[in-house]
């Protein structure tokens, strides 16, 4: 069989490798650690730095197609591998998604609504931006933020210095505060021929900035906006000539979906699709990057919920196994507070 190269060895890589194996592909993982959650299920593991363009090139040569499960990769090092083997999603899509200013600018150029925003590089530029956008507002580092880290809220102009300190004075964007009741993410898979499919949009509940629970089908305002958000998400994917699974986060604004950010990869809010949809996000990602037909995203039940097991919540695993209809996933990680250790999916038929 063919070999899929996966850059990054975490739980997303693990679930990609499992899906790949199911349809006859072997996986070769490249990651800086000696092993990781994907290590138990991949055929081969290469330890190497993400910056090491030479090692990445040799890795790509050992594979038929290359993808990634981790988005904070240096695009310069990847650019060399892109010409060697099919590389999906593209380095250009990754470059845009890594940078809040680039992704919001890209969305705006394709008539996709965003919060008012401005790029800021200095404290003086932040003062000007606050004068223009007003408060409340959120200052976010352009790069490397996740789970709400690298952000500071400004309630009034008095918060400017403190906010700049909080984010460490890095290149940032200032965003106007959007009033919304719910936020949601659209997950879609797009094939090289331009076909794309989207899954049902879950309602997500976060706890301390980390996804705690996803449920489908969506309710209330999310359900009302889903069709528009899917259309806009597909527009974004088409404009990027995207191949693979793309996650797009939206706020439910009073006048429709407002783009927040995108992740150029499979996404935690789509873990419910493993048992809850006909074809999972992981399998459709593999199908898309291999140029195979995409599978149906239809629901396997009337209701599906996915609960993340964070930190010591994973110790509940015996009770979860004792539930007859729960699907337990553990990622083989050692317990640390706040760490995503596994998840459990419950499908109501
Ligand atoms: P992750 O990648 O884990 O989703 P992140 O660190 O990239 O998070 P964002 O998703 O941009 O950060 O923001 C985190 C949360 O803060 C959002 O899910 C939303 O609840 C809130 N938030 C972000 N931007 C705004 C905004 N402009 N107005 C109101 N709330 C916001
Ligand atoms: Mg993010
Ligand atoms: Mg987010």
Phi-psi category of 311—alpha, beta or left, where left has phi over 0 and alpha has psi -120 to 50?
left
Shared-domain flag, residues 296 and 312: yes
Assign 80 a pLDDT band (cuts: 50, 70, 90): confident
The answer to whether the annotation marks 343 as part of a ligand binding site is: no
Region 294-300 average pLDDT:
98
What pLDDT, on the 0 to 100 scale, is given for residue 250? 96
Which of 125, 156, 176 finishes a domain? Answer: 176
Q: How far is the CA of 321 from the centre of ligand 3 (A)?
A: 31
Q: How far is the CA of 221 from the centre of ligand 2 (A)?
A: 22
In a domain, 101, yes or no: no
pLDDT confidence band for 219 (50 / 70 / 90): confident
Structurally, the chain folds into a number of domains equal to: 3
- 24 lies in a domain? yes
| Alpha helices for the chain (secondary structure H) | 11-22, 53-61, 75-82, 91-97, 100-109, 123-133, 160-166, 220-240, 273-276, 281-289, 317-322
pLDDT > 90: what percent of the chain?
Answer: 95
Residue 145, annotated ligand binder? yes
Q: What is the mean pLDDT of the segment spanning 162-170?
A: 98
Q: Is residue 9 part of a domain?
A: yes
Nearest ligand 1 atom, CA 140: 11
What is the average per-residue pLDDT within 120-125?
98
* Cβ of residue 204 lying under 6 Å from some atom of ligand 1: no
Same domain, 168 and 193: no
148 pocket-lining for ligand 1 (C-beta < 6 Å): yes
Calpha distance 173→132 (Å, rounded): 13
Q: Would you say residue 1 has pLDDT above 80? A: no
- One domain, residues 199 and 336: yes
Range from 158-167, 218-227, 236-245 carrying the lowest mean pLDDT: 218-227
CB 110 within 8 Å of CB 236: yes
CA–CA gap between residue 250 and residue 215 (Å, rounded): 16
Instruction: Answer yes or no: do 211 and 295 share one domain.
Output: yes
308 and 172 both lie in a single domain: no
> How far apart (Å, rounded) are the C-alpha atoms in residues 183 and 251?
4
Find the mean pLDDT for residues 224-242. Answer: 98
Q: What is the CA radius of gyration of the chain?
A: 20
146 and 270, same domain (yes or no): no
Q: Residue count of the chain, please give it.
A: 349
Assess whether the C-beta atom of 139 lies below 6 angstroms from ligand 1: no
Q: Tell me if 221 sits within 8 A of 202, measured CB to CB.
A: no
Give me the phi and psi of 154, to 5 degrees please. -115, 115
- Is the pLDDT at 317 greater than 90, yes or no? yes
* Domain range enclosing 125: 116-176
Calculate how far, in angstroms, residue 145's C-alpha sits from the geometric centre of ligand 1.
10
Arithmetic mean of pLDDT, 136-150: 94
Same domain, 149 and 199: no
Q: Whose Cα sits closest to atom 27 in ligand 1? A: 177
pLDDT band at 347 (very low <50, low <70, confident <90, very high): very high
Same domain, 168 and 196: no
pLDDT level of residue 63 (50, 70, 90 thresholds) = very high
- Per the CB < 8 A criterion, the answer to whether 320 and 326 are in contact is yes
171 & 196 share domain: no
Residue 226 domain-assigned? yes
How many Cβ atoms from other residues are within 10 Å of residue 297's Cβ?
A: 20
Higher pLDDT among residues 204 and 23, named by residue? 23
Question: Which atom of ligand 1 has the smallest separation from the CA of 211?
Answer: 3
pLDDT at 275: 98
In a domain, 92, yes or no: no
Q: The domain spanning residue 277 has which CATH number?
A: 3.30.470.20
Please state whether the predicted TM-score (pTM) of the whole model is above 0.90: yes
**CATH code for the domain of 26:** 3.40.50.20
- pLDDT reported for residue 27: 98
pLDDT higher than threshold 90 for residue 138: yes
Residue 241 CA to residue 83 CA, distance in Å, equals 16
Q: Is the CB of 138 under 6 A from ligand 1?
A: yes
Based on the number of CB atoms within 10 Å of its own CB, is 127 exposed (0-12), middle (13-18) or buried (19 or more)?
middle
Whether residue 105 lies inside any domain: the answer is no
Average pLDDT over residues 225-252: 98
Q: Which of 103, 117, 151, 340 to mutate to test the pocket of ligand 1 (most atoms within 8 A of CB)?
A: 151
| Any ligand 1 atom below 6 A from CB of 147 | yes
Q: Specify the range with the lowest mean pLDDT, choosing from 117-126, 151-160, 199-208.
A: 199-208
Do residues 220 and 331 both lie within one domain? yes
Per-residue pLDDT, 66 = 98
In a domain, 275, yes or no: yes
Q: Are residues 153 and 236 in the same domain?
A: no
Choose one of 159, 176, 193: the last residue of a domain. Answer: 176
Q: Is 171 part of any domain?
A: yes
Ligand 1 centre distance from Cα of residue 99 (Å): 14
**Is residue 267 domain-shared with residue 326, that is, in the same domain?**
yes
Which pLDDT value is given to residue 148? 87
Q: Sorting pLDDT into bands at 50, 70 and 90, what band is 239?
A: very high
CA distances for 164 relative to 17, 156, 157, 319, angstroms: 41, 13, 12, 46
Answer yes or no: is the C-beta of 146 below 6 A from any ligand 1 atom: yes
Q: What is the overall mean pLDDT for the chain?
A: 97
Quick one: what percent of the chain has pLDDT higher than 70? Answer: 100
134 lines ligand 1 (CB under 6 A): no
- Regarding the beta carbon of 181 and ligand 1, being less than 6 Å apart is answered no
243 Cβ below 6 A of ligand 1: no
CATH number at residue 154: 3.30.1490.20
Residue with the smallest CA separation from ligand 1 atom 5 is 146
Residue 147 Cα: closest atom of ligand 1: 3
Q: Looking at 141, 160, 176, which one is the last position of a domain?
A: 176
Q: CA-CA distance, 49 to 228, in Å (whole number)?
A: 40
The pLDDT score that the predictor gives to residue 127 is 98
Burial class (CB in 10 A: 0-12, 13-18, 19+), 334: exposed
Residue among 260, 308, 338, 339 whose CB has most ligand 1 atoms within 8 A, to mutate: 260
């Amino acid at each position: 069989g063919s070999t899929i190269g996966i850059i990054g060895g975490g739980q997303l890589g693990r679930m990609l490798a499992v899906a790949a194996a199911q349809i006859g592909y072997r996986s070769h993982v490249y990651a800086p650690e000696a092993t990781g959650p994907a290590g138990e299920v991949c055929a081969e593991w290469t330890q190497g730095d993400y910056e090491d363009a030479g090692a990445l090139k040799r890795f790509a040569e050992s594979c038929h197609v290359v993808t990634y499960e981790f988005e904070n990769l240096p695009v310069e090092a990847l650019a060399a591998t892109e010409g060697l083997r099919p590389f999906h999603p593209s380095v250009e899509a990754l470059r845009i998604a890594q940078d809040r200013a680039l992704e919001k600018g890209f969305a705006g150029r394709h008539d996709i609504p965003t919060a008012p925003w401005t790029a800021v590089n200095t404290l003086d530029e932040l003062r000007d931006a606050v004068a223009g956008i007003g408060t409340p507002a959120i200052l976010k580092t352009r790069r490397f933020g996740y789970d709400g880290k690298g952000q500071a809220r400004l309630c009034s102009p008095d918060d400017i210095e403190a906010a700049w300190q909080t984010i460490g004075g890095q290149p940032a964007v200032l965003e106007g505060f959007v009033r919304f009741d719910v936020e949601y993410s659209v997950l879609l898979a797009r094939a090289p021929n331009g076909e794309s499919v989207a899954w049902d949009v879950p309602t997500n509940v976060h706890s301390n900035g980390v996804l705690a629970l996803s449920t489908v089908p969506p309710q209330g305002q999310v359900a009302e906006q889903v069709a528009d958000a899917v259309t806009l998400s597909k527009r974004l994917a088409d404009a990027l000539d995207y191949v693979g699974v793309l996650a797009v986060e939206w706020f439910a604004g009073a006048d429709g979906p407002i783009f927040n950010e995108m992740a150029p990869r499979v996404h935690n809010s789509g873990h419910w699709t493993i048992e809850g949809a006909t074809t999972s996000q992981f399998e459709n990602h593999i199908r898309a990057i291999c140029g195979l037909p995409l599978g149906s995203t239809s629901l396997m039940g009337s209701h599906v919920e996915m609960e993340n097991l964070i930190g010591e919540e994973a110790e509940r695993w015996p009770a979860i196994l004792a539930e007859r209809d729960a699907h337990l996933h553990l990622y083989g990680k050692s317990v640390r507070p706040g760490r995503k250790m596994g998840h459990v999916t419950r499908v109501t038929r």
